[in-house]
């Protein structure tokens, strides 16, 4: 079972709007520090700099209100935060078809690729270096830069797709 341990939000320019550890009141058996960068002291109830889950949900929700949400594998983040966001306002670099890889016998099934690989391939940037802890701020900035790289084409595809949808009664 996973728990929310850190929340990081950046703006268009990569400036940090929120970066906080989140207290986990239950016993944690695997911090995945080599991947997450989170240590026991970061999320301890004794850490005055960490915030409670509910406070984090409210802060993130407030920051995202009426905004386009950009990130990678956002379903996981939204699930950990226990919040939702309007689908038309989500730009998930893990779900953007040109960034996905075709698999299967006929290559018809699309699978998400790692953020690290996409950022290196399209931007020449290195993140999530093997042997180093990941930084959620670096990941957020990298996702934003990846979105900026594909933005014009991405938004045109969304616009084209929404014109083909007939709005009927629900």
| Cα 132 from Cα 147, distance rounded (Å) | 24
| Cα 80 from Cα 75, distance rounded (Å) | 9
Q: What is the pLDDT of residues 42-86, one digit of tens each?
A: 999 899 999 999 999 999 999 999 999 999 999 999 999 999 999
Find how far residue 28's CA is from the centre of its chain.
22
pTM above 0.85, yes or no: yes
How many CB atoms neighbour CB 122 within 10 A?
Answer: 15
Token pair for residue 24? 């986990």
Is it the case that residue 34 has pLDDT exceeding 80? no
């Amino acid at each position: 079972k996973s728990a929310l341990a850190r929340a990081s939000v950046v703006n268009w320019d990569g400036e940090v709007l929120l970066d906080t550890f989140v207290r986990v009141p239950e016993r944690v058996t695997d911090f995945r520090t080599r991947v997450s960068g989170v240590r026991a002291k970061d999320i301890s109830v004794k850490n005055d700099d960490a915030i409670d889950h509910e406070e984090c949900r409210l802060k993130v929700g407030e920051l995202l209100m009426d905004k386009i949400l950009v990130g990678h594998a956002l379903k996981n983040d939204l699930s950990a935060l226990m919040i939702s966001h309007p689908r038309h306002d989500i730009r998930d670099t893990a779900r953007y078809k040109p960034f996905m890889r075709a698999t299967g016998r006929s290559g018809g099934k699309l699978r998400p690729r790692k953020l690290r690989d996409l950022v290196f391939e399209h931007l020449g940037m290195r993140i999530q270096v093997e042997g180093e802890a990941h930084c959620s701020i670096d990941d957020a900035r990298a996702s934003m830069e990846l979105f900026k790289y594909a933005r014009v084409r991405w938004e045109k595809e969304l616009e084209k797709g929404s014109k083909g949808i007939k709005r009927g009664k629900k």
